[in-house]
Amino acid sequence: MSSTVYTGTSRADRPTSFHLQDIDIPKGREEDWRFTPIERIATLLSDELSGQAPQVQAQAPEYVSVSNTKGPGVGDIAAPSDRAAVVSWNSAKQFVRCTVPANTVVEEIIRLDIQGTHDTPSAQHVYVEVGACSSATVELVHTGEATLNQTVEIDVHDGAQLTLVSTQEWDANAIHASNHRIRVGKDSKITHGIVSLGGDVVRICTDVFFSGEGADVNLLGAYFTEAGQHQEHRLFVAHTTPHCVSRVAYKGALRGQDAHSVWVGDVLIGADAFGTDTYELNRNLLLSLGPKADSVPNLEIKNGEILGAGHASTTGRFDDEQLFYLQARGIDPETARRLVVHGFFAEVLAQIGVSQIRERLMEVIDRELESGEQL
């Protein structure tokens, strides 16, 4: 049986399944795939990925385990909703589990260094669970050479707080598809950051589900798309529980011929999600001739008793007033442009709230700015 041809209008009605036969290989005309270069990511969409997953090294290893079995809780959040995600689910032989017990405050950053060493297509499953009334910060750092199809499940229990940041700092030829499926419990809070800087094709889909009232979700993103790169970020926030809050803020800078970024933000406010407060924002800064940025915010509202719902999307060149202000104070044009881009990213990265992560990422972005063609 095949059920992948989606003809409806609701994002929530798109098919989901754990079974490969239910979700066909896309041809590029499907809504979820119309911006994606299928031919460049096709190796991650076949029935089976047999390569060895990237190596994983953990800081704060007492909270992390790596095995070849799924373990409890895996798959409880939601079924995959596209071909890449269902392939990852069925092909993964490596399961990376990060568990913070209930009533535990983890002061140090739990960092997972995911290091690719080859380009053979592989699958990986990461499961992050934060117990009730606990708090933690988790960083996933992707580097090296890889062709990786990845599942990241994130379960934030009642009253818990989690900051999770995934950075894509791959080598130039890497291909990475990932589906982050997040469940947030009653009165819990998650700050979820995606920072994409490297790779040839990076496609990350983030799905958020609420399981209790009073949950607070902050989805942040930053991407620097260079010549020839394709970086795609898709989000689905399913407000089906009353009195929850979500904020989305993604910013991207593009430089060079055929640099292509895609941002799609889908927010559903269900019929019973009274008192919802949601807003999503995407801004793109074009640093040269040749890039293309596609930005598609969507709101689907099924009840009228909400606190707020809105979205905004802008794409443009440098702010001439900012450049004039800096140059009027003796700063040369090239340095002025770099300062504007630095400030553009700093605003969203500051919201992560973890100084060590923010400072490291700004250093990586500064190196990106110093390389390549002039701004």
Q: CB–CB of 86/20 below 8 Å? A: yes
Alpha-carbon torsion angle 279, 221, 201, 370, nearest 10: 140
Cβ within 8 Å of residue 171, ≥6 positions away: 116, 143, 144, 145, 198, 199
Q: CB–CB of 95/151 below 8 Å? A: no
Structure tokens at 148: 């990786």
Structure tokens at 325: 């202000």
Cβ within 8 Å of residue 342, ≥6 positions away: 362, 365, 366, 369
Distance CA 324, CA 277 (A): 38
pLDDT digits (tens, 9 = 90+) for 87-143: 999 999 999 999 999 999 999 999 999 999 999 999 999 999 999 999 999 999 999
Q: What secondary structure letter does DSSP report for 358?
A: H
pLDDT digits (tens, 9 = 90+) for 268-320: 999 999 999 999 999 999 988 899 999 999 999 999 999 999 999 999 887 66
Query: How many other β-carbons are positioned within 10 Å of the β-carbon of residue 196?
Result: 26
Q: In what order do the strands lie in the sheet with 245-254?
A: 55-58, 105-117, 135-145, 161-170, 189-196, 216-225, 245-254, 277-286, 308-316
**5, pLDDT greater than 50:** no
The pTM is what?
A: 0.94
In terms of Cα–Cα distance, which of 204, 179, 163 is closest to 92?
Answer: 179
The whole-angstrom distance between residue 70's C-alpha and the CA centroid of its chain comes to 22
Distance CA 39, CA 288 (A): 26
pLDDT digits (tens, 9 = 90+) for 39-92: 999 999 999 999 999 999 999 889 999 999 888 888 899 999 999 999 999 999
The whole-angstrom distance between residue 14's C-alpha and the CA centroid of its chain comes to 20
Q: CB–CB of 201/173 below 8 Å? A: no
| Residue whose tokens read 């927010």 | 267
Beta bridge partners of 286: 254
